Amino acid sequence: MQDPFPESPTFVTHLECGMQHDHYEADQLHGLSKAGKPLLVKYDLDGIKQSVSKEDLAARPATLWRYREFLPVRKSENIVSLGEIHTPLIPVPRLQGGKGTVWIKDEGRLPTGSFKARGLCMAVSMAKELGVTKVAMPTNGNAGAALAAYGTRAGMKSYIFCPADTPEINVREIAAQGANVWRVNGLINDCGKIVGEGKDKVGWFDFSTLKEPYRIEGKKTMGLELADQMGWEVPDVIFYPTGGGTGLIGMWKAFNELKEMGWLTGKLPQMVAVQASGCAPMVKAYEAGEEHAPLWENAHTIASGIRVPVAVGDFLILRAVRESNGFATAVDDDKISAALDECSQKEGFLMCPEGAATYAAYKQELESGRVSPDESAVLFNCATGLKYPLPPADQSIDINEPVDYSMFD
């Protein structure tokens, strides 16, 4: 049988503070920088360009690991995988506003049913490579499920903390996949405090969003994969459901790396950070022209995955939005619900609430004029809609009574 992960050259040169730009050695265990900011992985991009071509990549299996040269894992033996296939890019013509094609990138096809598999498979692989055996994280649900699965796969102990109102299916799947899980009577930032305070007391490694460098690299594959699927071109605009923002930051990083290599030559996409009106710290900071987003008080939304009141990578999210000539926008919960229903009824596509927020935002920004109906757009559906409560379907037929066939008209 062919080795699914043959050894490939690696090109990581160092890590760099996203704020201060000071350097940190690769191949060592790091959390945040000395300034308390996220670390970004840097590569020898000329070396990648000389080592691999687009044609080389096309000959490889259509998985996340197709892009090995762009990723940080040094040794194939440390790759922790559950089968991270390319996710489909699905045109939805009944949802588009004009001549511009609209696609949904369906991340719900990944292991554990969400795009969190990308970041956690990479973070766990790197943790394995660097000798970590015990990990912890706060989660609104899907990230915890991914860490539970990949942590167990790697033989690590995982400790996961969820807000008390996390969807029940998420809590149960975390437990079912071998992690230790607790509900906490607070929000995700409260769960994060427990993880942070437990680092020295318990000895676990903090896997909180952007508090280790490698989830960004896993999420970066969304950008690499999207460009690959579109023939090394990119859409005009990307609508991305934004909580901690790892994926938006990662995609923007990918597009800039590809541009520096000459693999992307045209205009890069506008990056649109989509939040819920009940928890929109990035939107508030964007509109105020600020670099950082203060804690959002009394956060609430039906889209629990983007209910993140404060994000350590706020400045990186806002930087990506502004550098791309994009923007941040918020949508009300009733519009999220209506968008979910419309997508299901018109296209047969069951989005998760966070994914539906991107369609609600697309419609809203068509009306505002910030997006043209003739521009191409990609909406990220970050998880399968089957993980979330569904509307009742309680019609029934009694076989002991005559069937009234007129009701089927």
Torsion angle, CA of 34/40/44/48, rounded to 10 degrees?
160
Torsion angle, CA of 258/259/263/265, rounded to 10 degrees?
150
Which residues fall within 8 angstroms of residue 104, CB to CB, at 6 or more apart? Answer: 89, 90, 92, 343, 349, 351, 355, 378, 379, 380, 381
Torsion angle, CA of 64/69/72/78, rounded to 10 degrees?
70
Phi/psi of residue 135, nearest 5 degrees:
-130, 155
Q: Residue 128: how many CB atoms within 10 A of its CB? A: 22
User: Closest by alpha carbon to 151, among 108, 117, 103?
Assistant: 117
pLDDT tens for each residue of the chain, 409 residues long:
557 788 889 999 999 999 999 999 999 999 999 999 999 999 999 999 999 999 999 999 999 999 999 999 999 999 999 999 999 999 999 999 999 999 999 999 999 999 999 999 999 999 999 999 999 999 999 999 999 999 999 999 999 999 999 989 999 999 999 999 999 999 999 999 999 999 999 999 999 999 999 999 999 999 999 999 999 999 999 999 999 999 999 999 999 999 999 999 999 999 999 999 999 999 999 999 999 999 999 999 999 999 999 999 999 999 999 999 999 999 999 999 999 999 999 999 999 999 999 999 999 999 999 999 999 999 999 999 999 988 899 999 999 999 999 999 8
Which residues fall within 8 angstroms of residue 89, CB to CB, at 6 or more apart? Answer: 103, 104, 105, 106, 226, 229, 230, 378
What's the predicted TM-score (pTM) here?
Answer: 0.95
For residue 389, the model assigns a pLDDT of: 87
Cα gap 273→264, rounded to integer Å: 22
Contact 333, 318 (CB under 8 A): no
Longest CA–CA separation in the chain, Å? 77
